[in-house]
Each structure stands twice: as C-alpha cells, then as structure tokens.
Amino acid sequence: MHFSSTPRGLRPLTAIRRIRAGTAMVCLLAGLVALACSEPGSWFASPPRPNVVLIVLDTTRADILSAYGYPKPTSPSLEAIAAEGVTFEQAITTDFWTLPAHASILTGQYPTTHQATAETNRLPERANTLAEYLASAGYRTRAYVSNPWIGASRGFAQGFESYIETWKSGSGIAEDFASDRAGVAGAEEWIAERVAGDEEFFLFLNLNSAHMPYSPDALTLFDLSPTPRSLARTQKLRT
C-alpha cells in the first residue's frame, strides 16, 4: 500500500472542493444560458403594481350587512368581493364622526396626529395622504365624494388630480344630496378610461346614501296602475 506524504484527508477534501467548484460553474453557465434565452428585461422587470379603489359607505352599520352575518341578504355584492379577498371583522373607527374618521383612513394616523378635529374642521396641509403617496409613485388619482365634511375646502383633495364633490350638484333634499348615483357613474367611466390606457390608478369613492333619511321613491311603493274603481272615479270627476 502506498502512503502519500500529504496530510491525511487533504486529497479527498480537495476533490470535494473541485466537484463543488465544477458544479457551481455548471449552474452559473446554465443560468447564463437561461438568461440569454429569456425575453429582454424579463429577469429584471418589476411585478405589475395593483390599482387601488377605496369605497367608503358613509355611516353604514356592519350589523345590518349580510356580509357580517345579518340574516337578510342586504349586501350580496360585498359578499362576492369578500369571497375573493379578506374580511376584517374587528375594524374599528378612530373617531365617531365623518371628518376625523376619513382623515385617519386617508393618512393612516390617529386624530391626535393628523389634527383634523372639531377644533380645526379640516385636514392640515402638512398631512401626507394615500393619494399623495400614490401620485408621487406615478398613479392617476381621482375622488368622488358625497359628503361636504370631506370637501376640497377642508383639505381632503390633497394628492388628487381631480376631486369631484357630487353633493354640490344636488338640490338639498335627501335623494339629491346623497348623489351617489352620479359618483358611481363617474367612477365607472373613469376606471374604464384608465384601464383602456393601461394606467395605474387610485380611486376614492365616498357614498353617503346610508347617512341620509330613508326616502324611497313613491313610484316604487305602490302599484299606480289604474283600476276599474279609480277609472270610474276619474270619469265621475270629469263629468
């Protein structure tokens, strides 16, 4: 048996190192080949950024939504959305009224920090909003709001390219003041335009119908089609 003067274990270790080095070189070459065969820029392209749609159902109570366990089907659309996403069951507002609560939603801060309170009645300009952050990242931004407490005059338009206050188009009565239909229609059209142009966007939609007294359209409450009795009465009045 031939014994080498090399210290025991050195040759096997050197062989292992060579095997590892060879394997690493093969992996490196395989990676270079894969990179050369891939689409230009595909290895370095950032994943697509999500569009953001923030919808606030102003003063809507969770306990009357079927999405939160109410026995009647009051919110089927919300349930459909929740089935494909995440539902937060312990979401608690930072304040009990519109202005500071919305300021917290848009800034991620408590009223003691953002200072949009009953004393100021506006969102300070120094506050950094979600719209400002996304606009600086290249997002298109727009808002449709139905509540005057979060109007542009109160500082809530910060970061938005356009801030549509739909409540201003109403006559003051409950149906017009809420003006949710105008906001929804405008939002749908704007989103379609952004999607067609392949533009990243942030949309804020404030819906105020739940805040107002329930005033159903009279035409939906009763069957107003004429009956033999009503026709006879009308004919009698005419004669």
Q: Give yes or no: residues 60 and 37 share one domain.
A: no
For the chain, first and last CA: distance in Å?
Answer: 136
Q: Give yes or no: residues 109 and 16 share one domain.
A: no
Q: Give yes or no: residues 105 and 24 share one domain.
A: no
Q: What's the total number of domains in the chain?
A: 2
Q: Give yes or no: residues 69 and 178 share one domain.
A: yes
Owning domain of residue 172: 52-213
Q: Spell out the per-residue pLDDT of the chain, length 239, in tens.
A: 443 444 444 454 444 344 444 444 444 444 444 444 455 555 566 778 999 999 999 989 899 999 999 999 999 999 999 999 999 988 899 999 999 999 999 999 999 999 999 999 999 999 999 999 999 999 999 999 999 999 999 999 999 999 999 888 755 555 555 578 889 999 999 999 999 999 999 999 999 888 877 666 665 666 656 667 766 665 665 55
Q: Give yes or no: residues 68 and 25 share one domain.
A: no
Q: Give yes or no: residues 171 and 194 share one domain.
A: yes
pLDDT at residue number 215: 67
Q: Give yes or no: residues 92 and 186 share one domain.
A: yes
Q: Domain of 195: which CATH number?
A: 3.40.720.10
Q: Give yes or no: residues 37 and 116 share one domain.
A: no
CB 156 within 8 A of CB 101: no
pLDDT at residue number 97: 93
Q: Give yes or no: residues 72 and 113 share one domain.
A: yes
Q: Give yes or no: residues 64 and 119 share one domain.
A: yes
Residue 232 lies in a domain: no
Q: Tokens 């100021």 belong to which residue?
A: 120
Q: Give yes or no: residues 30 and 126 share one domain.
A: no
Burial class (CB in 10 A: 0-12, 13-18, 19+), 129: buried
